[in-house]
Amino acid sequence: MSAVTHVVTVPGSMLKRGFWLYVWRVETPKGEMLYVGRTGDNSSPHASAAYTRMGQHLGSAKTQNALRQHLRKEGLEPEDCTAFHLVAHGPIYPEVEHAPGLDRAALMEKHLPLRDLVGAMEKALAEELKQAGYRVLNTVKWKHPHDPVIWETVRAAFEAHFPKLVKGLTPKDLDKLQVAK
Residue 46 included in any domain: yes
Provide the pLDDT for residue 181.
46
Q: Which helix (H) or strand (E) holds 158?
A: helix 148-159
* Nearest-5° Cα angle at 16, 93 to 14: 110
* Segment 74-103 mean pLDDT: 92
Neighbours of 163 (CB within 10 A): 15
What does R_g of the chain's alpha carbons equal in angstroms? 18
Residue 4 included in any domain: no
Residue-range definition of the domain harbouring residue 126: 12-180
Global pTM exceeds 0.75: yes
Looking at the 3D structure of the chain, how many domains does it have?
Answer: 1
What would the pLDDT profile of 123-150 be if each residue is shown by its tens digit? 999 999 999 999 999 999 999 998 999 9
3-state DSSP call for residue 1? coil
Give the residue, 59 or 74, on which the prediction is more confident.
74
| Helical spans, DSSP H, in 46-103 | 50-58, 66-73
Residue 1 included in any domain: no
For strand 31-38 and strand 83-94, is the pairing parallel, antiparallel, or unpaired? unpaired
